[in-house]
Amino acid sequence: MKTINDFNFKGKKALIRVDFNVPLDADFNVTDDNRIEAAKPTIIKVLEDGGSAVLMSHLGRPDGNANPALSLKHICHKVSEVLGVSVKFATESIGPIAEKAVAELKSGEVLLLENLRFHAEEEKGDKNFAEQLSKLGDIYVNDAFGTAHRAHASTTIVAQFFPDKKCFGFLLAKEIEAIEKVMRTGEKPVTAILGGAKVSSKITIIENILDKVDHLIIGGGMTYTFVKANGGKVGDSICEDDKMDLALEILDKAKKKGVKVHIPVDVLAADDFSNKANTRIVNSNEIPDGWQGLDAGPKTLEIFKEVILKSKTILWNGPIGVFEMESFAKGTIAIGNYIDEATKKGAFSLVGGGDSVAAVKQFGFENKVSYVSTGGGAMLESLEGKTLPGIAAILA
């Protein structure tokens, strides 16, 4: 696996695919610069070698139209601030304007190209578009894990034009290593904590990780599909009735593979989907009509705690309750605390996938786990066992 450490960029221009798809407020201010911070070590390495960096990214979904509101010029100031270098901006991502800006770039300088998705060819993985991008650098660096599952021109196709001069940036290399630790090289016991609303959205992940884990903790809304499949009463809780047979199949497969599945034994139930609802602790298989389970109960959390603290490798994907409402955030916060404790004792912990990452950030666990993945869809596809095009293109 070639990484950025395998190259010296002195006098070279690095064409770096970053993921600067960051949120902006109404005044075009960046409201979360984590993705820019994450790419900083890769860019700084190029500059410290004596090279220059040409950054390419998308922002939003302009669908091939040059939408001024989605111009990357809005984030140029923030990128300059994070890098500590004045970043130049090219009003195009290919063609004479971009090529002239690159030609004028000196060692130690950074150029940000305009939004790649202003061209429909980017998402189509157009070879001609990729070839034009390839003219803008001497070495291709992919550091955008968030788009590694897309076979776009800038994430995959462009690598063809750099047969011996392509590599992973620090961020993408770290993402690959973190997933490898969970899926292949992790010290046992390995525990996967899967939450979220639906079994259907996690089927492929569950089926793929059953050969890799010793414990599977089920939480969130999908709890109730498993509970009902086992003959329990779930009241008005979210439940995929058409996935109950699948839930039983998963439990059967897990048993045959020696994987211990832990499903909540008690829950915090509410008489309304509201922060101000009346609540009570009930057994997970005895939820009364008119009530719905919205968080894990105290007995469940004690069981989960014991499993997590004995684990050496931990994957957390999906919240345990409706953490967006304060009344039902206790379970998710507790899981974060248990993982923090296990990590301090030497366990490797990986958090990935939309809502769990949001929860980790909201409750301040970002620096208390081993690694927080920057890619939602890419992370999930990796856990499903898929080969990501953006990664395969560098390895080819």
pLDDT digits (tens, 9 = 90+) for 329-343: 999 999 999 999 999
Q: Give the predicted TM-score (pTM) of the model.
A: 0.88
pLDDT in tens, 21-44: 999 999 999 998 989 999 999 999
Which tokens sit at 249?
A: 């199949």
Domain edges within the chain = 4-168, 175-383
Considering the candidates 64, 108, 377, 385, report the single residue annotated as catalytic: 377
Report the CATH architecture of 175-383: 3-Layer(aba) Sandwich (3.40)
* Mean pLDDT calculated for residue range 125-149: 96
* Close Cβ partners of 342 (under 8 Å, ≥ 6 residues apart): 308, 309, 311, 314, 349
- Length of the chain equals 396
d(CA 201, CA 140): 34
CATH class as words, domain 4-168: alpha beta
* pLDDT surpassing 80 at residue 137: yes
Residue in 136, 131, 118 with CA at minimum distance from that of residue 58: 118
Q: Can you tell me whether residue 269 is helix, strand or coil?
A: strand
Confidence at 385, pLDDT banded by 50, 70, 90: confident
* Mean pLDDT calculated for residue range 82-104: 98
* Close Cβ partners of 77 (under 8 Å, ≥ 6 residues apart): none
- Residue 57 annotated as part of some ligand binding site: no
Considering the candidates 35, 78, 166, 212, report the single residue annotated as catalytic: 35
Annotated active-site residue 377? The verdict is: yes
Q: Can you tell me whether residue 122 is helix, strand or coil?
A: helix
User: What is the pLDDT, as a whole number, of residue 396?
Assistant: 92
* pLDDT surpassing 90 at residue 376: no
pLDDT in tens, 259-318: 999 999 999 999 999 999 999 999 999 999 999 999 999 999 999 999 999 999 999 999
- Is the bond into 62 cis (omega within 30 degrees of 0)? no
User: What is the pLDDT, as a whole number, of residue 333?
Assistant: 96
Considering the candidates 88, 253, 299, 354, report the single residue annotated as catalytic: 354
- Residue 104 annotated as part of some ligand binding site: no
pLDDT in tens, 40-67: 999 999 999 999 999 999 999 999 999 9
- Residue 304 annotated as part of some ligand binding site: no
Considering the candidates 73, 88, 198, 253, report the single residue annotated as catalytic: 198
Annotated active-site residue 280? The verdict is: no
Q: How far apart are the first and last CA of the chain?
A: 10
- Residue 355 annotated as part of some ligand binding site: yes
> CATH topology of 4-168 equal to that of 175-383?
yes
* pLDDT surpassing 70 at residue 354: no
For helices 330-344 and 298-310, give the axis angle rounded to 10 degrees: 20
Mean pLDDT in the chain?
A: 95
- Residue 184 annotated as part of some ligand binding site: no
- Residue 20 annotated as part of some ligand binding site: yes
Q: Would you say 301 and 309 are in contact if contact means Cβ atoms under 8 Å apart?
A: no
* pLDDT surpassing 90 at residue 203: no
